[in-house]
Every structure is written in structure tokens, then in C-alpha cells.
Chain A
């Protein structure tokens, strides 16, 4: 019996698509989470914000999921923004892998929305 570790909720805020991922992301659910976000993203959207504010655990599989999203969005000339508070475990992982070289990482959702719209 496996319970989902996290859940993803996709909504539109100020004309920007926001995917909020809560819980934990690891090898068991990262690929499915990435697929769910992609499926929920309209091709007309200019940009996507992946909000990790409520994510408590991220590992390399979650990072891989983000890199895949960056590539897919690039194919459609769409932008990816990530929200991850600094100082927390998730932000630390993104720092280590220097994810901000692939896509902007913001410390709050407001900042991400301002940059995305």
C-alpha cells in the first residue's frame, strides 16, 4: 500500500499558470508529478510557475523533473519560474545543483508572478 507523498494543484493566477506542489518529491512520484503539470499546462500559456513553498522534500529526481520541464517549455517558447524559500531544504537542493542557471528561482510566489506576467 502506497500513499501519495505529495500532490500537485494547478491553477491560474493573474493570467499565469501556477502549479503548487506540496508534500515530498522523490523517485516514487517525481515523474508522475512532472507529467501531471505538463498535462495541465495550456499550450497558449506564456509561462509556468512551479511553487515549492509547501514542498518539504526535494531530491535529484525532483530536480530532474524540473530540468525536463525547462526543456519542454523551451520547445514552446514558454518560461519556467520556480518558487522555493531560501534556507529551507528544498531551496538548498536547488542551490547546490545551480538550478537558477536553467530557470529563475524566486523566494516568494508574488515575486514569481511579477516576473512571469
Chain B
């Protein structure tokens, strides 16, 4: 029962009730104005009318926001006020009508049980009042006592019929339908909500009844359209309904497509309602799309079968193309396959020059592929395809105008071209031609397919090449560009990036020339790859150089470096390092090995190479204050020391000892010169297909010193340090004392300084220095330049000559138009004759 009445009663129309109350108040006033009985309680009726009018005004003003309970309270108050009016007036005249209205409104607005109780209450009050006030005639009294309940009963019966007939029967039908049914008031308030709707929307009746429909179930755009439809249904007589499809939101936030019919239903009790039938289209849509897929699949399968042979050929072609990491390799692999698959007689790939509207022939069946011929956009067939940016098929082309050399050579009678699109831009053109065969649209489709894949491969290859280039550039910028010129010492290095990696590795090395002719050798490996490893290498390199040039011992340098690494390197990262300082005059070195692989030292006297396992400490960045053990060793003349990173000796699946053995073996049979040695080692030890890890290698040889030397050096001030290193070693070899070494070296430096300054004047780029032992015993040094001698032109040069003369026994300067020769001799007291 309750459910039935709810059809009319969920949200009570406070405004209508207000109008009714005002009406009752007006009737009271009219009653007072008309002739009436003396015992009529005029003041009370007036007060009652005022109360009803006030209540009506309150409902009118605020009633829109009242909930059901508040409206019920208002109705009850109204009824009580009317009942009190009856008592107060002591008359029944005119009140039958009021009762009728009250009863109607009680049914209209409230649920049935409440309405019946309500009416019963009023009847009891009325009958009591009639009994207490035997004013009216027996006829009218009887009429009222019998007539009012009869009238009430009629209204109730009529209402129940309306409710059961219009709602109950309809509900039975509505509950069984799989479509959702919702009845709305004209403002969109839900007044009916069937079980299917509960399932469909995931919203129960209790949650929806009395609530506005749209905002609960419609997303933003649908809601606006819904409001528009509601307005039309409410305001426009001619609009009686809608059928539309929309998307609803379930209570869990998911959406579903739905077909909706809305119609305005007139009649019944009260205002027209909007009957909405909603069908969930999810399943239908799914079926439709499955159907479409099925159809599409069938079509695709037919298409696939149709071109199966060609596709498989094309697949091979594209796979071949993709397996090439360089663009050049890819293009050359592509051309023969394109020809074979399309049965073409000529094929060309042209790639666009970056930033220009020009194509360059990169691979072609005809002509000279090495001749990277340029084709302007709009010129020839391929240029036209590039300019238009669309595939093009041309039968019986004008060869003179359209065909490039490859096509002209093949005398093609049918040609087609497809632009290679990379990131929406024309990156090149793939063009083919056939002599007798006529290409058709299927062939053009195949060429397009190939072009798409080639464009993709091209894009990949370009990205790869660019990244690899950046990585290598960065890596190389962190490594010494050229090895320093160290006469008497052989120093060579190699850096081989991993074959497959675009990223920068953390391998690095350095060679530092230090005051006094000492040489610092560095080989390091920062764990990790990419920019962070590279930037760490950069920091370590400049820090190590700074510490080294401050003159610290290797252990002190590495200790300072560890402090930097400890603070800068990310946690759980570390860096290994060997820092070795070679003292050429003594042939000795001091070194520290912070967790790096052992250096390999070759011996000059025929003994095999040996790994130097000493001077081991923990890697950098592991502990804040570790002790770095400093080792000392000798590097005899003719011996080489080899530093390397793990990429040279580590192989997947083998122990590192095997790699070290292989290295030692490779060195035994290898050449002496450091440059040749490194090439030999890389060739011997690189796995097929390139190294999987970066490899850095540094070889340093303490070359033998001979009694006689002769060398040509660049005429630059930087060569002076090299000269001093060379001369010192040679003088030590000759058995000179420390003083003799210092003095002869200074004199040689002066001679070379002059040579360098002359070169500046004469435009020559080098000078020569030659040394030999003389009987006496003694030494002779000859410095030759190819510039112009300017004796004593400045004080400085004068002092240079003055120094030479003071430090050597004999100095001979022989200027000539071709250059100057300085010959100096000195007797050596330290040499036993």
C-alpha cells in the first residue's frame, strides 16, 4: 500500500498546498462577511483564517525545500487548524467543503495510511463537535454526519481505484520488464523506479525516489541535453516525448550506453508525469562491434590471402632492413629486395637532406650508388613525390622529364613512388620502375606498406645514430684528445664503446704530464652508465689532475679523490681506479690500485708478462676514510705497463681468470710498439660482433735510451718540457751527475727556446734536436731550426745565449738563410772514462 501511494506522494508540492490554504482562509473570510448565526465565533474564525494564510505564505516561500516529513507536518497543522475552527465557530456551515479539500489533499500529498489516519482523526473531531453543538437543524445535522463520511468514502474509494488501477497494474508490468522504467515529475524528480532500473543503475528505489534524476546518472554533457529536454517537455505543449541515445553513469562510476524514450503522460491524478523507458545498449554494442570485428577479420583474412606471397617477401625485406643499425647498410639491403618483391627493373631510395628540400640518392639499382646525386623537390619523379607528399603511380612516363638515371637506364614503362614519412615529414622517397610490367594500385599499396616500415626503421636508425653519436662525443670529450708528446716514452690509449649500447659508459683514462718530467697514468671505471656516470668521470678527472699537479703522492691524491667520490657519488655506487706516477729519470713508479683490475707489466729481458697485484685498496666511494696503500715498482727500459678496464677481459659465462690469461697470452705474442700492441690486443680479445661492455686500454712504455738521439718537435713552447724530459733521461743514461743534468738541460732548453722563437719569425713549424756522446768523455747537442737568427735583438735572447755559454764548454751558433744551427759541447766529469 505504501508503495502505491508513493507514486503520488514522494515530494509534496508545498506551493499547491499553500494555494489551498489561502483558499480556505479566503472562504473563512467570505463566511464571516455573509449573514451567519449569532453564536458564530467570529474572532476565532478570523484568527484561524489568519493562521492558515500565514501557514500558506510560509509554505509558498520556503516549501520548495521541505522534505516529506515537513510537508506532512504542514498538512497536519492545516487539518488541526481547520478542526479548531469548527470548534471555535460552533457551526458546521461551509465546513463540509473544507473537509473535502483536506481529505483530497491528505491523499494527494501523503501516503495512504497516513491519509486514512488523518481523515479518521478529523472525522472524530467533527462528529464530536456536532454532538456538542446541536445548533443546526436535524436535517442538516444528519446530512453532515452521514454525508461527510459518505463523501470521504467516495473520495477514498476513487483514489484507491486510481492508485491500484493506474499504478499497481502498471507496476506489475513494469516490474517484469528488463528495461528500466522511471517516472519523473516535470522538474525531473524521480517518482517511480523499477527493479530493472535498480539493477541497471545500481541505485535502489529508496536512494532515487524524490531525488532529481539527471544529476545522479548523467555525465556533464548529457546533463545539459537532459535539462533542455525537460524544459521542452514542461513548457512546450507540442512536445510530448523524446527518443534518444545517451550514456549513463552507474553508481560505481562506470558508464553504459542506453536508448531512452521519454513521454509526457497526461491524466490520472495531479500533474502530468514523464514516463522514461531505458534500455541498456552495452550488450547490443558489444555484439555490434564483435560483428564488425568478425566482418573486418574476414575481410582482412581475404586481403591477407590475396597478398600473402607479396607480404611474406616484403616481410623478409623489412626484417632485413630493420636488422641494419646504420642507415646506409639498411638502404643497400633494401633495394634488391624491393626489386625482387615488386618484380621491378629499377629501384631507388632517396633521403632528404636535413633541413633542405633536397633529396639525395642513397641507394639505387642503376647508375653509380656512390655518386650521391641530389634531386630538388619537384624535380624528376621522386622529387615530385616528395613535394606532393603522396604516393604516385605513373604509366608510360616521359623519361626525359621524369626519370632519374636509374629509371632511364632501365627504360621503365611504369613507375611508382612513395614518400617515406617520419614524424609527419617527408624524409625520403622510395621509387621503383618496371620495363614491361604495369604496376597497379595493389602494387602501390605494397610499396606503401614497405615505405611505412622503412620509414619506421629509418626513424629508429636516425635516433640510434644520433644518440650513439651524442654518447660517444660526450665520452670522448672526457678522454684525452691526443696523447701528450713524451719523447722517450711510448704512450697509447684506446676507447672502444660497447657495440650495442647508445649510452655512455663509465670507463676513463688520463695521462698527466707533471713538472720534472714525471708522468701520471690513470685508468678508472665508474659503476653505472649514462650521464650520471659521465659527469662523475668529468668531476674525477679534473679533481685528479688538480691534486696531481699540486705535487701530492699517489696515495694522497687518491685519498682526496675518495673524499670527492664519497660525497658526490650516489649511494651504492663506486668507482675503481689505478693512479700511477712514473719517474722517467729513475725508471720507477709509485702507484695506488683502488679496486681495479691488476696492471700488466711486460719485461724487456724476455721473461713473461706479469700482473701487478700489489698496492691494493678498496674502490672509491665505499668508505669515507679508507687507507690507500701506495706501491712502488720499476719499469725497466723497454718494458711496458698496460692498464685496462674489465670490458677487455670479462666475458659472460667465463671466470675473469680466463680473461686475464687470455690477455697475458695475447701480450706475449704481441708487438712492442704501444700503438701496435693495443691494436693487436683489441683484435685478439674482442668477441665477435663487438664488445658487450666498453673497453678502455692504456699502454705506457719506458722506451730504451740510446747513446745517440735525434728528434723533430713542433716549434711550440709546449715542446720544451718534452725536450727536458728527453735530455734528462739521456744524460742520466750517459752517467751525468745531478748538476750536470740540470745545467746541460737548461742550456738545451735555451737553444730550443731560441729555435721556437725563430720559427715564429720564419714561419717554420718544427725544429730538431740531436744528441750524442763525445770522447772526453762528454756530450754534444745540436739544435736546428728553419727560421731566422736574431742575435741579441732583445735582452731575453741575449740572456739565453749568455746562459748557454755559461753552462756549456762550447757553444757555436751558425746562422744561415735556411735556419740556424746551434752546436754545444760539454765535458762530463761524472762519467768514468
Contact = CB atoms under 8 A, between A and B. Distances in A.
Interface residues of B, number: 40
Contact of A61 (B514, B718, B742, B796): B796
Interface in A16-61: 22-24, 26-29, 56-61
Nearest to A56: B516
Nearest to A54: B551
Contact of A26 (B551, B717, B802): B717
B118 interface: no
B68 to A, nearest CB: 92
Given A3-B514, A27-B753, A67 B795 contact: yes
A10 interface: no
Interface stretch (B27-35, B696-704, B743-751): B743-751
B482 interface: yes
B274 to A, nearest CB: 88
A58 B538 CA distance: 33
A28 B746 contact: no
B799 A28 contact: no
B795 A28 contact: no
A95 B550 CA distance: 28
A56 B738 CA distance: 12
Interface in B442-500: 480-484
B515 A92 contact: no
Contact of B799 (A5, A6, A56, A97): A97
Contact of A64 (B512, B799, B807): B799
Contact of A57 (B512, B514, B718, B746): B746
A97 B802 contact: yes
B249 interface: no
Nearest to A31: B717
Contacts of B739: 89
A23 B803 CA distance: 20
Nearest to A64: B796
B742 A5 contact: no
Nearest to A98: B802
Contacts of A7: 549-550
A63 B721 contact: no
B481 A1 contact: yes
B743 A89 contact: yes
A38 B123 CA distance: 121
B513 interface: yes
A62 to B, nearest CB: 10
B495 to A, nearest CB: 15
A26 B753 CA distance: 9
A28 B721 contact: yes
Contacts of A4: 549
A56 B583 CA distance: 15
Contacts of A97: 799, 802-803
Given A27-B720, A28-B718, A93-B803, A1 B482 contact: yes
Interface string B741-770: 011011001100100110000000000000
Contacts of A6: 515
B770 to A, nearest CB: 20
Given A24-B515, A57-B724, A96-B803, 13 more contacts: A1-B480, A3-B484, A3-B513, A24-B724, A26-B721, A26-B724, A28-B720, A57-B516, A59-B749, A61-B753, A88-B742, A92-B746, A97-B802
